[in-house]
Amino acid sequence: MIPSSYPSQEEIARLTAGMLLDIQAVHFNSDEPYIYASGKPGPTYIDCRKLISFPRIRSTLMDFLAMTVMRNAGLEAFDNVAGGETAGIPFAALVAERMSLPMTYVRKKPKGYGRNARIEGAMSEGERVLLVEDLTTDGGSKISFVNAIRDTGASCAHTAVIFYYGIFPQTEKVLGDHGVSLHYLCTWWDVLAEARRRKAFSEDTLNEVEAFLNDPTGWQDARMNA
């Protein structure tokens, strides 16, 4: 069913941050930083995949995501919803159900046999496709998925995620330069604010996280060179 109520974006961000904290999808550790895919350290880690195991929270956030996209892009802006392999697939299916649209998914690379396809499901030339994933950091993986969608003759001018890091200023420019608008529910800043309100972590940890969010590159360089 298409959601019909529209909380403010600020309220959606606050509630989303709280739900991510509720299911312990948010991890802060400044003493033993996490190592990211880039090989660099950071005191923050988020696991949006945990959402699939919490049906009430999952359902609410998918309502929020569908609302956000339809409010920002329009109720009749899309013909197809595509999930990015692998984390985006369940969320794309849930959003497609709410928007009453067909669902497809995009492989990270051709599977190497059979049709050697990157698109699974039915996607047609001229369709307007919404790309759904769990999160985005710098936007790089989204470009690859968007290009695969466009290679079919379909268009893709929008991507929607539950969580956007919101600390790398080039992200929205990179996507914008590629003709893609980003829609999201909350950022690290929203999570930090809610974590402070709840006193979910020690004050020292929260201060260290804030220092990282304000200057991620400087924070990383200082620890890598220590």
pLDDT in tens, the chain (226 residues): 666 667 999 999 999 999 999 999 999 998 899 988 778 899 999 999 999 999 999 999 999 999 999 999 999 999 999 999 999 999 999 999 999 999 999 999 887 676 778 999 999 999 999 999 999 988 788 999 999 999 999 999 999 999 999 998 889 999 999 999 999 999 999 999 999 999 999 999 999 999 999 999 999 998 888 6
Q: What is the pLDDT of residues 77-121, one digit of tens each?
A: 999 999 999 999 999 999 999 999 999 999 998 876 767 789 999
Alpha helices by DSSP H, the chain: 9-22, 55-73, 88-99, 140-150, 170-177, 188-198, 203-214, 216-224
**Triad 74, 76, 82: Cα angle to 5°:** 95
d(CA 163, CA 114): 34
β-pair type (80-84, 34-35)? unpaired
pLDDT for the residue 146: 97
pLDDT for the residue 96: 98
pLDDT for the residue 140: 81
Query: Contact 73/121 with Cβ under 8 angstroms?
Result: no
Query: Contact 154/124 with Cβ under 8 angstroms?
Result: yes
Token pair of 15, please?
């509630």
d(CA 212, CA 215): 5
Token pair of 180, please?
């893609």
- Nearest Cα to 62, choosing from 91, 21, 99? 91
Domains of the chain and CATH, by start: 9-219 (3.40.50.2020)
Strand partners, 104: 82
107's enclosing H/E stretch is none
β-pair type (34-35, 41-42)? antiparallel
pLDDT for the residue 118: 93
pLDDT for the residue 22: 98
Query: Contact 185/18 with Cβ under 8 angstroms?
Result: no
